[in-house]
A = this chain, B = another copy of it.
Amino acid sequence: MNSSEFRRRGKEMVDYVANYMEGIESRQVYPDVEPGYLRPLIPATAPQEPDTFEDIINDIEKIIMPGVTHWHSPYFFAYFPTASSYPAMLADMLCGAIGCIGFSWAASPACTELETVMMDWLGKMLQLPEAFLAGNQGKGGGVIQGSASEATLVALLAARTKVTRRLQAASPELTPAAIMEKLVAYASDQVVATLGTTSCCSFDNLLEVGPLCNKEDMWLHIDAAYAGSAFICPEFRPLLHGVEFADSFNFNPHKWLLVNFDCSAMWVKNRTDLTGAFKMDPVYLKHSHQDSGKLLPSPSGLHWQLPLGRRFRSLKMWFVFRMYGVKGLQAYIRKHVQLSHEFESLVSQDPRFEICAQVVLGLVCFRLKGSNKLNEALLQRINSAKKIHLVPCHLRDKFVLRFAICSRTVESSHVQLAWEHIRELAAAVLSAERE
């Protein structure tokens, strides 16, 4: 495909994407297919000669779409949101074209430098303590990771390296293996200190945990994968109180801040803790500025993460932050929180139901008063009807339904319709139980 065909096909794809987004509400949110549906629909081997673009675009509706769970449908209330916005998609197009791999400053200076500044922008939006910002002279700073799991693993490895060095300095006779045996990682039942758990969006008390960790010289990593985006609103910022005790902090703008996957934001107070754990310097990655004694704008991916390669992911943040503005992003978060409270209020007015956890942000945990079996039956009816999509969780042995505000385009009307639908199915389940 040459560039003039790309101009044509690219514009067709832009229209396809816009059509998909405009019409997503009319698609069934959860697909009808059975496992193994796709293999019989396509050839067993790649074609020897090229297929046409028309063949492929036709196959999208025939083969792919029937098997898609539509995460951006306003009737999708499952898991947690995954971010999607037009500005992020535009940035991703540019990111694909530049196609640089940012494993060092020299590999594309703009990639390294924009990321540092965007992480400062975002850190300031969250009112993170100054110690987490890179600025011109700071020791801290932020880096984009692929996922919260990756960020947690990076924090663990950095913590391990740091304590190993400290112990070795104090007792040179200790071998790394002997030290390793003595290391302990404390975790809650959701791993590491968590703000906004997946099950029910509960919050650990950092003001209790934090000072203890600092006193015992323990690395404190805080994961706020979902909830973190809300901290750009002053009214939710108190949930982050105590972050000043942490060594590292992470949340996922790719969940709730309109920056398409992947974009997991991680900050550390001391970036040498990370570079110490990951440093590698093959000669083919050396460049003329690294020994200049200047503090290189972090992060070079090389010393901050597991994979050597990384895309120009900060472009997405730049486009989204600029095209929404902080106020636009705050309004977006507030709208979601308001919709979850609207749903909470509907549930509370129906005496057959109970709310199972405090509604803080965009998640409502609820259930029919009664047995787990009853609630499992309700969820099964909901997900079989496929008008809306929900997933469950367990809270203290109780089977609970999670209603998460997810889609960028969800409105009060969708929440109302979803609730009416749940009520109807609940009535059917309850009447089936009485028979």
Contacts and interface: CB of A to CB of B under 8 A. Distances in A.
Interface of A: 1-7, 9-11, 13-18, 20-22, 30-31, 33-39, 42, 44-51, 53, 55-56, 60, 63-72, 79, 82-90, 92-94, 96-101, 105-111, 113-114, 116-117, 120-122, 124-125, 136, 146-150, 153, 177, 181, 198-199, 254, 260-262, 282-286, 288-289, 292, 294, 296-297, 306-309, 311, 315, 318-319, 321-328, 380, 383, 391-394, 399, 402
Contacts of A88: 96
Contact of A36 (B63, B297, B326): B297
Contacts of A149: 306-308
Given A34-B289, A67-B109, A311 B262 contact: yes
Given A64-B114, A92-B92, A14 B16 contact: no
B10 A394 contact: no
A398 to B, nearest CB: 11
B93 A89 contact: yes
A121 B43 CA distance: 9
B261 A117 contact: no
13 contacts: A35-B296, A36-B113, A38-B114, A38-B117, A44-B124, A79-B107, A96-B260, A146-B146, A149-B307, A199-B284, A262-B309, A286-B391, A288-B380
Contacts of A121: 45-46
A9 B89 CA distance: 11
Contacts of A33: 109-110
Closest 9 CB pairs of A and B: A67-B110, A147-B307, A10-B14, A38-B113, A17-B97, A6-B86, A51-B322, A67-B109, A50-B325
Question: Assembly of this chain: how many copies?
Answer: 2
Contact of A322 (B5, B50, B89, B286): B50
A392 B284 contact: yes
Contacts of A306: 147, 149-150, 153, 306
B97 A21 contact: yes
Given A37-B109, A68-B110, A71-B98, 14 more contacts: A36-B136, A38-B109, A39-B113, A39-B117, A44-B120, A45-B124, A46-B125, A46-B322, A47-B326, A66-B110, A69-B100, A146-B309, A199-B284, A262-B311
Contacts of A97: 16-17, 20-21, 84, 89
Contacts of A292: 35
A60 to B, nearest CB: 7
Contact of A21 (B3, B48, B288): B3
Contacts of A98: 20, 64, 68, 71
A375 to B, nearest CB: 12
Contact of A35 (B7, B120, B297, B393): B297
A114 to B, nearest CB: 6
A49 B254 CA distance: 21
Contacts of A294: 35-36
Contacts of A21: 3, 6, 97
Contact of A323 (B53, B120, B315): B53
A151 to B, nearest CB: 10
A116 B42 CA distance: 12
A223 B38 CA distance: 30
